[in-house]
Structure formats: structure tokens, C-alpha cells
Amino acid sequence: MKTTALLGALALTAAPALAQQVDPNHKFAWGENIGFLNFADAGNPPGAQGVFAYPTHLEGFVWGENIGWINLGDGDGPYANTTGLNFGVNRDPDNGHLSGFAWAENVGWINFSGGALASPANPARIENNRFRGFAWGENIGWINLDDPNVFVRLVCPADINGDGLLNFFDVADFIALYNNQDPRADLAPPFGVWNFFDIAAYMALYNEGCP
């Protein structure tokens, strides 16, 4: 009885502030001088080190076939962006605007505040779960996050398969990730340990639903 009560209590708690993943069907942005940029597939298994969006910051890697890896931050955000040791892309939790710097080993710094300087201004931001606006790299020019056809979209954290629905299949996919000790199923402290608390955290997200 005590275990059942605890399960119910944890499942009904407010969902933690967890990351949103990139929709595998909408994972590309376009750089005018560098081509397509893949926000989703970095890491092993694919997606484990892709871009994740938290309420206050981003983390993970973008892959550009023509320029290599772009690092959006190590996850210890929001980032100060005062030195090369604390860089990263921040997200304003109130309006979704993106700011700060990403680092690309082969092309240097990419300024996610740069779109505000465009004419007309079109700041990089996350709006209705999709990226919009522009980022600027001194060595690569504009990265277009605002194309009507080629854009990056986020999925609801509980929508594991990214089909826009919450149902049994999402629960089954989460359990599969959990059983494989996939980082995407490591949702609650102590991190690096897959246990009951990760399952409870997922059920809290599931019960909260999607926007």
C-alpha cells in the first residue's frame, strides 16, 4: 500500500523542467554559405548528444556536413558567455528569445543574438515549439532558422516518438530507452542511475500532457 501511494504521489507531482528534443521530421536549419545543419542526430545512440532545449538554455551539438560540429553548450546553463569556458546559447523563459554564443571548431563563434541586428530585426527564438529568426557567424554569415519549409521543431518531452500524440506507444518507447539505460530516460537525480524516480518523472510529464 505504501509503495502504491508513493507511486501515485510522484506521478501526480509537477513535471520537472526537462529538455525538449528535436523532432526527427524537422531537424534541419539552413546556412546561406554552409548548407544544411542537423540539430538532432549527434551522439551514440543517435540523438543522445543532439540539441536539447531547456527553459533557460540549450545544450548539445549541431552537425554541418561542410563545417563539422557546432557546440551549443554543455548543459550547465544559463551561460555567462564571458569567456571561452562558459559559453553557450541561452533561452529567455518568458519570450523564447535566444542569446549567447555557440562554438564551431572550424568556423569560430556563432552569435545567437545576431538576428536582432538584421534589417529588419529577426531575433533567433523558440516560438510555438519551433526555432525562428537568424543567428550570425562572422566567418559563415547568416543561419536561417525561419524558413517555412526547412526548420527545426521541438517535441513535447513526453512525446517520445515525436508523432504529436501521447499514448501507450510513448510509454513503451520510454520503457525501451529505460531498459537500455539510454541518457534520454535518465530524467531524475541521482543522474547516471536508472531507477524508479526516472519512471515517476516520466509519468509526471505524461500526466501533464503537451501544449
- Residue 9 pLDDT > 70: no
How confident is the model at residue 72, as a pLDDT? 98
- Whether residue 8 is predicted with pLDDT greater than 90 in this model: the reply is no
Bridge partner residues of 109 (DSSP): 103
Nearest-Å Rg of the Cα atoms of the chain is 18
What is the pLDDT averaged over residues 61-73? Answer: 96
Q: Rounded distance, CA 208 to CA 117, Å? A: 38
For residue 112, give every residue at least 6 positions away whose Cβ sits within 8 Å of its Cβ, in sequence order, or none: 89, 98, 99, 100, 101, 102, 124, 135
Q: What confidence tens digit (pLDDT) does each residue in 89-121 have?
A: 999 989 999 999 999 999 999 999 988 887 788
Out of 64-68, 118-122, 125-129, 146-150, pick the least confident: 118-122
pLDDT, mean of residues 76-85: 94
The kind and range of the H/E element at 200 are helix 196-208
pLDDT score, position 211: 64
Residue % of the chain over a pLDDT of 90: 62
Q: Taking the C-alpha atoms of 13, 94, 133 and 23 in order, what is their torsion angle to the nearest 10 degrees?
A: 0
Quick check: 155 pLDDT over 80?
A: yes
pLDDT of residue 116: 81
Confidence class for position 164, pLDDT limits 50, 70, 90: confident
16 band by pLDDT with thresholds 50, 70 and 90: very low
